[in-house]
Amino acid sequence: VYKTLGVPPGYLERLTGIHEHRWWDEGVRISQAASWAGEQALQNTGIDPGEVQCLINASVCRDYIEPATSTFVHHNLGLPPTAMNFDMINACLGFVNAMVVVANMIELGQIDTGIIVAAEDPREGQLATIQDLLDNPPSKEKLRDNLASFTLGAASVAMILRHKSKSRTGKRLLGGYFYGLTEFNELCVAQREWMRTDSSALLREGSKAVIKAYEGFQKELGWDNDSIDKVFAHQISEPQRRIGLYKTLKLREGIDYVTLSYLGNTASVAAPICMAIAQDDGWLEDGDRVCLMGVGSGVNSIMLGIQW
């Protein structure tokens, strides 16, 4: 396709800043990958599966249309039959949405412990897109429209939220803010075997949603740019990262943790896995004020504040 269109090798890398990304081994199901993350979260925290009262699977990808992928994860983790489970899907924003839902359930006194999992794997869609480009006369317009599908990568992540009375760490989800510009819901649309994106328009309109969400977030939490120690943002492309964080929001250089170059865009997993890897690396430190930035096609944005 590149040869036919006269596109130089390395074009995608230079355009996005993504140099590699991953697929799960062939035959690995989304529920398996999500379960691995859930198992690790339970092991790392020492929380018994019997204490979990709610499981949300927030993956864009899933095993089947029905039943919910959460049912397989629930079984794999050995959660009690009284632990509610369901899928929550909102493009790349699903995991952050699920954090809000679990937190609200805790605040309402419905549960005291919940776990969120997500796993993504773009293999099927990327193979289908490659085959489509090979089977039909390629054009630069078609390559442009399908470019975003090649930025996606596989990964999984999990998070456990508990009532403060049961916390072993003292870390807190403090609040957040949501803003949606749903009139732009056609800028990025996808099925299992294809994805069509107007990248320039999505960047432009998505940035507007991010600005509004961030402004509301600052007022809600009483934080300014100097109050925030660390940022974990959805990973889309390097130009979008630099424009969104440093030019648009005027955040200081080096405040965010980046996995884009080696994981690609891992959809619902992206922002929370940055936080998880940063914790493992020792980059995220106790006492840090954290802004977790979510944005997804539609176009929606959520900002959450965390006292680490």
Query: Is 274 one of the annotated active-site residues of the chain?
Result: no
What Rg value do the Cα atoms of the chain yield, rounded?
A: 19
Q: Which of 66, 107, 141, 253 is catalytic?
A: 66
Residue in 54, 61, 92, 291 annotated catalytic: 92
Clarify whether 66 is annotated catalytic. yes
> Which residues participate in catalysis according to the annotation?
66, 92
